[in-house]
Amino acid sequence: MKYPNLNIYFAWFFLFETMAMAWIAATGNLVLQMLGVPTQVGFIPGRMVGALLLLFAIYLVWYFLRALPPQGKPEGSGFRIGHRVLLAANFLASVVFVFQYVEAAITDHNMHLILEKITTPFGYLAMAGFAIGFSLIYQSSLPQEEKQ
């Protein structure tokens, strides 16, 4: 993995975004309404502000801790496969994330229904990928058995 820290950073972003996208959008709407901007619930400006707030919050955690958990060892067992699983989960979660923005632009009801039925399982697969990837990376930091 060329950029493992970036992979973990976006894994934390997409993990929270996938789990609580409605709450994050509501937080963005709340911030916009506090600033006096008229918004409607579930529209793109609130989602964007919420996503930016989440990116900033994760950056603050990274800045003060100097790294985001889990911190694995590159020579440990499961490090490389863990990052590959996280990368796949990031891709699936990004598809769900992008679909939330283009959903309003899809006018055909059947196309919207098909895309919604495809992207919803992506969110579940991404959550499983995050769990597996994080556990494999954590496993790589544990003491390894010596081969006899």
Question: 42 lies in a domain?
Answer: yes
Give the count of domains, the chain: 1
The rounded distance, in Å, linking the Cα atoms of 74 and 82 is 11
pLDDT for residue 23: 94
| pTM exceeding 0.85 | yes
Tokens at 80, concatenated: 């490389």
Question: 146 lies in a domain?
Answer: no
Q: How many CB atoms lie within 10 A of CB 56?
A: 10
Question: 33 lies in a domain?
Answer: yes
Question: 8 lies in a domain?
Answer: yes
Question: 147 lies in a domain?
Answer: no
Mean pLDDT is lowest, of 27-31, 57-61, 90-94, 140-144, for 140-144
Q: State the first-to-last Cα distance of the chain, in angstroms, to the nearest integer.
A: 29
Domain around 131: 4-141
Question: 50 lies in a domain?
Answer: yes
